[in-house]
């Protein structure tokens, strides 16, 4: 079975093609037959396409800034050129899409129908940077591949198990009735990493109290008990929670009222500043990239030092919130770009929880090897690095829905 995965961001498009043969899934993520990445941040929004297939990479300009046309050009490379891997696009059996926001409607991966598309469109106000891109991808596939089965894998689905006390805000019921509540995000990554951690530890997932830390430019934590999300740091939007690369994370909402009333800011200005000009970037005045912050900190830049200190403080505070929801902790998982690669962040965060008996192994931590245990044997909390494989997680959801079922 050939499964195409589309993972659209606000300014990017990741895609890959898996070929899954046999009655069961492989125990570890296989290498995709083909991978593609479109960066839409070029001049006048024109994209740049990077391909990886047959062990080689290639970069191509896209002929148009139109995203649907860009996706069409990307898919052409599956069947044409030196890096082609298919004789015909009709060989694709199923297409899986990461969809950031599914609201309260979907708690699991779902075949895409007109009703599903309508829900994704209706939720655009809650995910304006992402849901439109997901619809563009879905419609591009419809135009190119016709009635091929398409599956939506929702980032919010994993957090549908949040209890009401964690999911709802202390606001008037009339506001809650408008759908203003905590949805949570990065659910595909949190679910995947939780399952991988349980396998690595050779323990049943439902026996573990676990916190998964998806720490990239965007970042969130999830408290997982009995294999289910019971609390998370992102809420109504991905802005809530941790201090991030360019997002503020949680702040006093009265700050926005003050800026609107007394400083004449407009809503769109505030949205831009909180989502794209805050966090590490806003405090340091340098960059949203943690590597740049750490380099500047090493050179004695006081704003970089402050930005990193705030970043760790907020991380520890949010982790403490998840710990309180669980009432204990067996496993702490770090994943995504920063979580997998920054030994310093892991070290600094874990130091705040040594009172629990958490003991990090400094040598293993410094090596930053994926899918390993980096705590000491006597540690009361197992600390792991897990490489998140969101695309593979989406492909496995598609396989479970689309693979032929044994009539026995």
C-alpha dihedral, 359 to 362 to 366 to 372, nearest 10°: -50
What is the CA angle 17-20-21, rounded to 5?
A: 145
Contact 209, 194 (CB under 8 A): no
Q: Are 398 and 96 in contact, with CB atoms under 8 Å apart?
A: yes
* pLDDT single digits (tens) 285-328: 999 999 999 999 999 999 999 999 999 999 999 999 999 999 99
Name the pairing type of β-strands 382-385 and 372-373: antiparallel
350: left (phi over 0), alpha (psi -120 to 50) or beta: alpha
**pTM of the predicted structure, to 2 decimals:** 0.91
What pLDDT score was predicted for residue 387? 96
Report all structural domains of the chain as residue ranges with CATH numbers, in order of start: 2-154 (3.30.420.40), 204-385 (3.30.420.40)
- 45-56: per-residue pLDDT in tens? 567 889 888 888
Active site residues: 155
Residue pLDDT, tens place only, 45-96: 567 889 888 888 888 888 777 888 888 888 998 998 877 899 999 999 999 9
**pLDDT of amino acid 128:** 80
- What local confidence, expressed as pLDDT, does residue 24 receive? 85
Going by C-beta distance under 8 Å and a sequence separation of 6 or more, which residues neighbour residue 390? 7, 98, 188, 189, 192
Residue with tokens 């106000």: 125
Pairwise CA distance, residues 72 & 92, whole Å: 14
CA atoms of 103 and 92, how far apart (whole Å): 29
Quick one: 36 exposed, middle or buried, by C-beta within 10 A (0-12, 13-18, 19+)? Answer: buried
Please answer whether residues 242 and 318 qualify as being in contact, where contact means their C-beta atoms are separated by less than 8 angstroms.
yes
Task: State residue 167's pLDDT score.
Answer: 97
Mean pLDDT split into 10-residue runs, the chain, 408 residues:
88 88 83 88 74 85 81 89 86 94 88 94 85 91 93 95 97 95 95 96 97 95 98 94 95 97 95 94 95 96 98 98 97 96 97 96 97 97 96 93 67
- Report which of 33, 42, 96, 88 is spatially closest to residue 67, judged by C-alpha positions: 42
């Amino acid at each position: 079975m050939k499964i195409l995965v589309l993972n659209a961001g606000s300014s990017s498009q990741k895609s890959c093609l898996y070929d899954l043969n046999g009655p069961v899934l492989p125990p570890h993520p296989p290498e995709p037959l083909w991978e593609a990445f479109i960066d839409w941040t070029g001049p006048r929004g024109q994209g740049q396409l990077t391909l990886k297939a047959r062990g080689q990479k290639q970069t191509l300009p896209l002929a148009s800034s139109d995203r649907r046309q860009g996706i069409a050009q990307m898919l052409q490379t599956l069947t044409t050129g030196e890096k082609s891997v298919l004789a015909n696009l009709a060989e694709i059996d199923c297409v899986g899409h990461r969809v950031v926001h599914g609201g309260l409607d979907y708690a699991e991966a779902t075949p895409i129908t007109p009703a599903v598309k309508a829900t994704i469109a209706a939720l655009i106000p809650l995910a304006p940077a992402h849901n439109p891109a997901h619809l563009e991808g879905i419609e591009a596939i419809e135009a190119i591949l016709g009635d091929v089965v398409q599956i939506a894998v929702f980032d919010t689905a994993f957090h549908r198990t949040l209890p009401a006390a964690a999911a709802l805000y202390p606001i008037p019921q009339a506001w809650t009735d408008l759908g203003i509540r905590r949805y949570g995000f990065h659910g595909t990554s949190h679910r995947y990493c939780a399952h991988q951690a349980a396998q690595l530890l050779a323990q049943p997932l439902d026996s573990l109290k676990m916190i998964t830390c998806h720490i990239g430019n965007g970042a969130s934590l999830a408290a997982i008990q009995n294999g289910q999300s019971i609390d998370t740091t992102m809420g109504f939007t991905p802005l809530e929670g941790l201090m991030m690369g360019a997002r503020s994370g949680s702040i006093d909402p009265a700050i926005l009222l003050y800026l609107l009333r007394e400083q004449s800011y407009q809503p769109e200005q505030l949205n831009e500043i909180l989502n794209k000009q805050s966090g590490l970037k806003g405090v340091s005045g340098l960059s949203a990239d943690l590597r740049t912050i750490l380099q500047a900190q090493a050179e004695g830049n006081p704003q970089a030092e402050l930005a990193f200190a705030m970043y760790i403080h907020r991380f520890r505070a949010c982790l403490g919130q998840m710990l309180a929801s669980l009432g204990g902790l067996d496993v702490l998982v770090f994943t995504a770009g920063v979580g997998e690669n920054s030994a310093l962040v892991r070290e600094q965060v874990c130091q705040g929880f040594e009172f629990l008996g958490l003991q990090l192994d400094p040598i293993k931590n410094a090596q930053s090897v994926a899918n390993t245990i980096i705590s000491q044997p006597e540690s009361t909390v197992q600390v792991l690095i897990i490489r998140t494989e969101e695309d593979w997680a989406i492909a496995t959801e598609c396989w479970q829905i689309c693979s032929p079922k044994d009539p026995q």
